[in-house]
Structure 1
Amino acid sequence: MDCKQIEEILTQALGLEEVHVTSDGSHYQVVAVGECFDGMSRIKQQQAIYAPLMDHITSGALHALSIKTFTPTQWKREKIFNMPL
């Protein structure tokens, strides 16, 4: 499955402000940023990402998914602390 397809699916389903998907063979890494994650537990955030992708996961088109979710405020802080010097 193409990274851009995953980004489009998640953006449309969740109204995300940013989504970045990379792959290393069959393993995909998702970084999702959206207000929808505000107040959600980590488990609920993960479930929110899995839900629109479930058909692709069960079909085997999408395998081994690593997820990081942030609110826009958390993402801004994450980018500041992880900027290369």
Structure 2
Amino acid sequence: MAMAAAEIEAMIRAALPDADVTITDLAGDGDHYAAHVVSPAFAGMSRVAQHKAVYAALGGRMGGVLHALQLTTAAPK
């Protein structure tokens, strides 16, 4: 069971409402996505902490419903 890009985006935006989120389906199969997330909430956070925040927003779906997510995060400049 795959996740839709819109669902991934909505879950990230729900947790990080000020984020700029771009989701790309890498393989066209609904299982392999890239997410680019820029959020003021990431200011002062390590890259690992930023990624953990995004994974937390996905509520445990990584590795199950969502097979692969190439993640790029940043705080606004």
Could you say which structure has the higher helix fraction? 1
| Structure with greater Cα Rg | 1
Code of the aligned partner of 1:68: T
Identical residues among aligned pairs (%): 38
Q: What is residue 42 of structure 1 aligned with on the other side?
A: 47
In the TM superposition, structure 1's runs of 4+ consecutive aligned residues that sit over 4 Å from their partners are none
Q: What is residue 12 of structure 2 aligned with on the other side?
A: 10
| Number of positions where the alignment pairs a residue of Structure 1 with one of Structure 2 | 72
Q: TM-score, normalised by structure 2?
A: 0.82
Aligned pairs for 1:1-85 (under 5 A) are: 1-23=3-25, 24=27, 25=29, 26-57=31-62, 60-73=64-77
Q: Taking CA–CA contacts closer than 8 Å with sequence separation of 6 or more, which of the two structures ends up with the larger relative contact order?
A: 2
Which ranges of structure 1 fall in alignment gaps of 5 or more residues? Answer: 74-85
Q: TM-score, normalised by structure 1?
A: 0.75
* Cα RMSD, aligned residues only: 1.4
Q: Within 1, Cα distance between the matches of 2:70 and 2:57?
A: 15
